[in-house]
Amino acid sequence: MTLHTFFTRSPIVPPPFEAVSKEIGADVEFYGLVRELEHGHPLAGLHYEAYEPMALKQITRIFTLLAEAHPVAGVTWIHRLGWVPVGEASLFLRVQSAHRAEALNFCALAIDAMKRDVPIWKTAQTA
């Protein structure tokens, strides 16, 4: 599995699309966007912080384990830090695999595990 993981403090720009091999049949791209309403309160945006070295280590560990059950060929994970206004992406995840089930399952499980186990915090800022 080819794995690229990084943080950015600028708006997320996904790397140009390129299949990691001629055996890729499915490419799933997930954007997590900041919504205006959280628990009923209007937000201007969210502020994200991370313990970066630990977070990247955890992400690698989680994705490597997940790939044993859901074999995928390529994963790109980008998380934005700092201030992210409503409507912009805080998370980008690209998963490529031969068949769609693996990529879709990996994507869903990877985000669940990330939210649960990776030291990234958000602080709401009201509008």
* Positions that interact with a second copy (CB under 8 A): 17, 19, 22-37, 86-87, 89, 98, 100-101, 104, 107-108, 111
CB 100 within 8 A of CB 25: yes
> Considering beta carbons, is residue 22 or 39 the nearer one to a second copy?
22
Of 5 and 105, the one with the shorter C-beta distance to a second copy is 105
CA distances from 89 to 10, 65, 76, 83, 100 (A): 10, 26, 15, 11, 24
Rounded to a whole number of angstroms, the minimum distance from the CB of residue 53 to a second copy is 26
Interatomic CA distance for residues 33 and 29, integer angstroms: 13
Q: Among residues 15 and 87, whose Cβ is nearest to a second copy?
A: 87
